[in-house]
């Protein structure tokens, strides 16, 4: 019987997040953000045991930031940012 071992990659990984929100001037926009992240070697144990689904947690945080920031901007300012 083989024991499956889980692996934690220390490489830089990319997560593409697509979020729809409304600007200050009531225009709906779709924001695509590419998030690059990696596990720090000295924090590998905590990253492996404390987080059950890292990608979903990062995605939820990015959604919160986008939905909090974009409604304060008008359409032109959103594209500039």
| Residue 9, pLDDT score | 83
pLDDT at 47 over 70: yes
From CA 73, how far away is CA 35, in angstroms rounded? 22
Which pLDDT band, with edges at 50, 70 and 90, does 5 fall under? low
Range with lowest mean pLDDT among 9-18, 20-29, 38-47, 64-73: 38-47
Are the C-beta atoms of 65 and 81 separated by less than 8 Å?
A: no
Short-list 21, 15, 20, CA closest to 56: 15
pLDDT at 6 over 80: no
pLDDT at 50 over 80: yes
Average pLDDT (24-39) is 94
Domain boundaries, the chain: 13-80
């Amino acid at each position: 019987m083989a024991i499956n071992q889980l692996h934690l990659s220390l490489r830089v990984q990319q997560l593409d997040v697509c979020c729809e929100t409304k600007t200050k001037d009531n225009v709906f926009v779709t924001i695509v953000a590419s998030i690059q992240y990696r596990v720090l070697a000295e924090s590998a144990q905590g990253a492996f045991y404390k987080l059950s689904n890292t990608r979903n947690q990062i995605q939820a945080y990015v959604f919160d930031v986008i939905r909090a920031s974009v409604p304060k901007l008008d359409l032109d300012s959103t594209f500039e940012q």
